[in-house]
Amino acid sequence: MHWISDLEGWVKMNNLQFISKDFNSGNLSKYQYTISLINECVRCKILPKAFLYNVQIKIGEILKDLILKYTKGESSSVTVEKAEKLIIGIWYTIDAYMNTFENIELAIKTLKEEEISYIYEKGKIILKEDFIHTEKLYKRTLKNQIYTDLTAYKDTLFGISNFFKFYNLEFEPDECVADIDYPLAFDDWDVVGLYYIKNYLWNLYLENEICNKFNNDDIHKILKSYGDTYKIDYRDLLINIFEMTINNAVFSILCNNESLEISKNDFEKLNDNLKKLNKEEVKTLISLIINKIIKCYSLGEYESTYLKGYEESLINLTIDAIKRDNLISVLVITDKVKNDENHLIIDEEIRLDDDTFRSVVEEILESDNIYEKIEIINKNINSIKDYVDILKSNCIFEDEYLLLFMSLSNLELSILGKLVFYGEYRMEKLDIIKILSNKIDTNYEWEELYIEYLKSLSENKLKEIENLINGKL
């Protein structure tokens, strides 16, 4: 299901008439639908306890056949881990069919009247159909893509092609073989396999459709200005083009501009005017502008729904920014920015060649003084990628990391944070204090020490870093 129909289907499911007075649709899982439905029906005595036992037997029979296919008839057994993985795939396939019903009554009727093996086979048919549909959607998304130098965007579009090359519908239908780095305005990480790709592509397609209504040169200028303002090579950042485009579109309209550009003078006038409004007035104003965009650019039904879905996020973001006197965090000023001479590790992407990089590492290793090491790094490293490679190269040791991190600005710390907390950052806006209170899996020593350093900082400083990570610059 795509984003919209999936949401509508879920709403429908939760507004049905009760099958029994004890039936609680709140106990149903959106992502383990059939299992949760069976369990709820057994609990409410809609289905007998023996039904669950019989289902387990049938799943076992399906598994037995699947193992024979997997081993090409050479064995009737596999490792426990593989068997568990195959069972997950079986239920995923069953869910593919059971989720096609418009209401719970029909779903329960099917459970009562049809064998699980039949439902499983129907699920395979649904998956095949959805795979074909998703592949067509991918081709459509390639055709309507935004022309940009943003690396994550381009690499993600290319990487998704691997999914269609390697997807294994029969044995691993819940797996998603694709490198996806580009963040969307709406993303659901609880969905897996084919349906994650389908949802992702649908949302990306809609974002592309909306962004393509605007001048591509204007969009490029916003991204470039964002980088110029903060001395960041925007091409290497995990930023969402749709969000930046719509944010500037809304506020440029408020400035009576015909493009996406917002000058410093425009911003100052806009900021002064918005400060005079209360929350409801801000909400009404942004809603009116969103509706104006929908009408002026003749957005279709799905595009309009998607944009209206983003409206609440923009309203909340704007109200919060006004409260903190930080409206500039919501939009991009497109005036030409004069870069100062302050050294930043996230300066324009000027990577060292391999020989030069090795020489820098050797020079750092020859020094026993961390302040000398920091000076060497500041003098030679201008790229975030080179900086991270330095952190991984074992030329900085234990307590030295603390002093190294202390030498960085909040902006630089936030860029490192986007790398360390990438999983958490992708799923939702980062709550850094909450994240730091939990165990965080790391791949490198520097990441672990970076986390320890953050834990030593004040709450105010952490909040500043958090705002930078979340794009509230």
Tens-place pLDDT, residues 454-466 = 888 877 788 888 8
pLDDT the model gives residue 4: 37
Higher pLDDT, 30 or 99: 99
Tokens standing for 6? 């999936």
Tens-place pLDDT, residues 226-253 = 887 766 778 888 889 999 999 999 999 9
| Separation of alpha carbons 34 and 96, rounded Å | 9
Please state whether the predicted TM-score (pTM) of the whole model is above 0.85.
Answer: no
Which range has highest mean pLDDT (92-96, 435-439, 463-467)? 92-96
Higher pLDDT, 7 or 384: 384
For the ranges 64-68, 259-263, 320-324, 396-400, the lowest mean pLDDT is seen at: 396-400
pLDDT higher than threshold 80 for residue 155: yes
Confidence of residue 349 (pLDDT cuts 50, 70, 90): low
pLDDT the model gives residue 423: 63
Q: Which residue has the tokens 């959805």?
A: 130
Q: Quick one: CA dihedral 71, 76, 80, 86, positive or negative?
A: positive
Q: Quick one: CA dihedral 248, 249, 253, 257, positive or negative?
A: positive
Confidence of residue 19 (pLDDT cuts 50, 70, 90): low
Measured at the CA of 123, the angle between CA 122 and CA 127, to 5 degrees, comes to 120
Q: CA torsion, points 76, 77, 78, 79, in degrees to nearest 10?
A: 180
- Taking CB atoms within 8 Å and a gap of at least 24, the contacts of 170-177 are 170/66, 170/69, 170/89, 170/124, 171/66, 171/69, 171/70, 171/86, 171/89, 172/85, 172/89, 173/89, 173/92, 173/93, 173/96, 173/127, 174/88, 174/89, 174/92
Tens-place pLDDT, residues 137-150 = 999 999 999 989 89
Higher pLDDT, 345 or 88: 88
| Separation of alpha carbons 386 and 353, rounded Å | 10
| Separation of alpha carbons 128 and 14, rounded Å | 28
What are the boundaries of each domain within the chain? 3-126, 131-211, 216-329, 354-469
Asked if residues 311 and 285 have their Cβ atoms less than 8 Å apart, the reply is: no
| Separation of alpha carbons 401 and 447, rounded Å | 10
Measured at the CA of 122, the angle between CA 118 and CA 124, to 5 degrees, comes to 120
Residues in the chain, total: 473
- To 10 degrees, what angle do helices 459-469 and 410-420 make? 70
